[in-house]
Each structure stands twice: as C-alpha cells, then as structure tokens.
Amino acid sequence: MKTIKTQVGIIGAGPAGLTLAHWLKKHGIEAVIIEHRSREYIQGRVRAGLLEQNTVDILKELGLADRLVKEGQEHHGVYLNFDGKRVRVPFGQLTGGRNITIYGQQEVVKDLTEAWLAKGGQLLFEAPALELEGIETDSPKIHFEHNGEKGIVECDFIAACDGFHGLGRKSMPKDAYKEYSVTYPFSWLGILAHVAPSSEELIYAYHERGFALHSLRSEKVSRLYIQVENDDHVDNWSDEQIWEELSVRLGTEGWKLNSGPIFEKSITPMRSYFIDNMQHGRLFLAGDAAHIVPPTGGKGLNLAVADVKHLVDGFRDFYEKASMQALDNYSTVALKRIWRAQDFSNFMTTLFHKQYEHGSFHYQLQKAKFDYIQLSEAYATTIAENYVGLPFESFEALD
C-alpha cells in the first residue's frame, strides 16, 4: 500500500487540475495529482481551443505560456454570419483591449504537464480514484489504484478536477446540491483538417441548414464544426459532404472556403449542466466536475481556470491566515461567473442554431438579435465582453 501525504490532493490532470497544482506551488502549497488516464490519452484528447484574456493572463503569470505566446493566435474580433450576411464584432475597441487566443486545449495540457513534471511535481497517470474518505473531517483521503497496487493520498483538502463523469461530484451527498440540466436537440460534428484557415478570425454562422463554425489551430490546420442531429454518426458523413455543408452554411458573398484532408472527426452532444454547490466539507469541485456549458462561445476551459483562481484564493487564505472564510465562500463566488457563462453560451447557441422553422416566430427573434448587433454598439459590446470574458474584478461588485 502506497501512502502519499500532501496538502491538496488533486484528482484529474486536465486544465483545472494542472493549473491548480502549478498555482498552489507558486504560493508554497504542496499538491499531488492523480489521473485516471494515460499521459498519451490526455494530451491527444481533442477539445476546443479558445482562451479568454483572463486565462492567457493567468498562464503567463504562472510562467506557463512560452509556447502559447509563440504558437497561439491572438484574435481581435469575430465574424458572425446570418443567412449569408456577415458582420464583425471587434473586441479591442469594445472591451478596452481585451482579446482571445486560439490554442488547442490539449496543447495547454501538454505544456502544463511537462512543466509540472520538470518542477519535480508528483503526478500519477493511470491512477483511478476509487473512493473518497473523510471529506467531512480535517484529514480527507483519496483511495486510488496504480500499477495494480492500492494507494492513499492523505491530505488537508481534495480538489476534484475530474470531469463530468468523475468521482468528485458522485462523492457529494445528493442533498448537498441542486442540479440544473438542459439537453439541446442537436450536436456538433467537429473536424480537424490539413488546410490553411479560410478566415483569419472565427466565423459563427446561422443557416437554414444549421449552425456552422470556422475555427483554426495553426497556419496549416483548420478546425470546423457543423450542427447535426443528436442520433447522427460520423460514418454518415463523407468528407465531401462535410465540406459541402460547411461551404454552404458559412458562405457569404466574395468568400471561399478552403478544403483539405480531414484527419479527425467526432460528434459532441450539447448540454448545459451545473450544480449550485461545489463544496462539501473538505471536498471542492472545479471545472467540468461541477458544470458543463454548450460549446458555442468556447467557455468550458475558461470557466475551469476561473474556478481554480477562486480555489487558490481560498487555499492561500487558509494556509497563510488560517481562515476558512474564502474557501467556504468558493461556490458563491465561482457561481456568479458560471451563471454568466451559462447565459452567454445559451445565448450564442440559441442565436446560431437551427431549431425552429425558417421564417417562424422564433427564427424572426434570432434574426432580430443578429440585426441588432449591427444597429447597436451597446449590444455588440455585450457580446464582445462576454466572449473575451469579464475581468475577475467585475464580479466582486455583486453581493
């Protein structure tokens, strides 16, 4: 039986768990990460790639952004399409210079893992957490398995950064939280293709054949998505059909979509989920363990990193001032941004997906919103400031 003693035991080496470990170490707080999957798996897992200004600033501050700065692409605006008409929402002038950066989530995970191991940080791969013990006491434990051997992490706190299906949330008593869940009646078929991006900035499009999104990963790799049925399957779509659909849905006068070999295809369901309490005793949840947003707007990773900021504030208060106050306030503080992100992700999803008859009442509402972006700088600003992410100080003004 292997016993590891640390201050904060972290389950999950995704963006939340890794950022938390680095940030705690910066403040002299010890952490150990156990991760169910292999290193190859977590570094190869294709996810979104939109980093808000806050996220980039945090990674820079932690000294983890060298490759991100070199290879990531800062975007100063976004294109929005509706029925073939395209408008641009500029970020700089509407948000006082805040921006987004496109850099794949798995690249963030790669960089943070490498840096953590290089610092001598402890991280066990292929080490599933089996059970949490004593979360209502001052000395909780994570029981895990590694290389066929059982082990225990003995710690002061457990941070469950173990995703939607993880053990963290399942270990909270059912009556400790209320659950909110919405499933959308469509999914995304996402592709990665070896082809130069057809636009230097992202394009979100409503079309009567459904939503489409043009994103990118590098000068040679494009990332694109189309709305499909929930019961659809990648095998139903040939490469030619996907390119044809993207070209029609993203189309606007004078613009052409480049196509090329597709090397990754997958379907993602769309859901909004969250719980109204992310702490029980000495157990804290962060990231997808506590909330899922639909991907439109790219908020998932950014919310996870924002959770971590509030957790670090709390752990510092505990270890530096012996106060539990900030930790006990964690859910309340984190949920303000989570609600904001749920609203914005829902707004972007509703605005750009085909859900109602073309020409129907609800379609007209979608179109009226799109028209309003062009009519009102205030409305465009609302979109821009949510898209790049509100500064942390903004939420402090709320009770």
**Contacting ligand DHB (CB under 6 A), which of 140, 163, 295, 314?**
295
Q: Is 345 in the site for ligand DHB (CB under 6 A)?
A: no
Catalytic residue among 15, 22, 36, 75: 75
Cβ contact 289:37 at 8 Å: no
Q: How far apart are CA 326 and CA 314, in angstroms?
A: 5
The verdict on whether 295 is a catalytic residue reads yes
CB of 297 to ligand DHB, least distance (A): 5
Q: Does 197 qualify as catalytic in the annotation?
A: no
Q: Is 349 in the site for ligand DHB (CB under 6 A)?
A: no
Which SS3 state, helix, strand or coil, does residue 228 take?
strand
- Among 299, 309, 310, 336, the active-site one is 299
Instruction: Tell me the C-alpha distance between 164 and 292, whole Å.
Output: 8
Report 163-202 residues binding ligand DHB (CB under 6 A).
Answer: 202
Find the binder of ligand DHB among 13, 16, 29, 48 (CB under 6 A): 48
End-to-end CA distance of the chain: 47
**Residue tagged 């150990």 (tokens):** 32
- The residues near 93 (Cβ < 8 Å, ≥ 6 apart) are none
358 given a catalytic annotation: no
E strand or H helix at 372, and its extent? helix 361-375
Q: Which positions from 241 to 280 touch ligand DHB by CB under 6 A, shown as an x/- string?
A: ----------------------------------------
Given 177, 294, 295, 310, the catalytic residue: 295
Among 214, 223, 291, 336, binds ligand DHB (CB under 6 A): 223
Q: How far is CA 372 from the centre of its chain?
A: 28
Question: Considering the rule CB under 6 A, would residue 77 count as an interface residue with ligand DHB?
Answer: no
The 323-342 contact track toward ligand DHB, x by CB under 6 A, reads --------------------
Q: What angle do CA 40, 43, 44 make, to 5 degrees?
A: 80
Interface with ligand DHB (CB under 6 A), residue from 163, 297, 314, 389 = 297
CA distance 211 to 83: 10
Quote the least distance from Cβ 204 to ligand DHB, whole Å. 7
Tell me if residue 299 is catalytic: yes
In this structure, which amino acid lies at residue 366?
Answer: Q
Out of 6, 101, 215, 279, point to the residue binding ligand DHB (CB under 6 A).
Answer: 215
Which is it for the CA torsion 249, 200, 374, 303, positive or negative?
A: positive
Q: How many CB atoms lie within 10 A of CB 250?
A: 24
CA–CA distance, 24 with 289 (Å, rounded to integer): 20
Q: According to CB under 6 A, which one of 18, 34, 50, 132 is a site residue for ligand DHB? A: 50
The catalytic residue positions are 75, 204, 295, 299, 387
The binding site for ligand DHB (CB under 6 A) comprises 48-50, 102, 202, 215, 223, 295-298
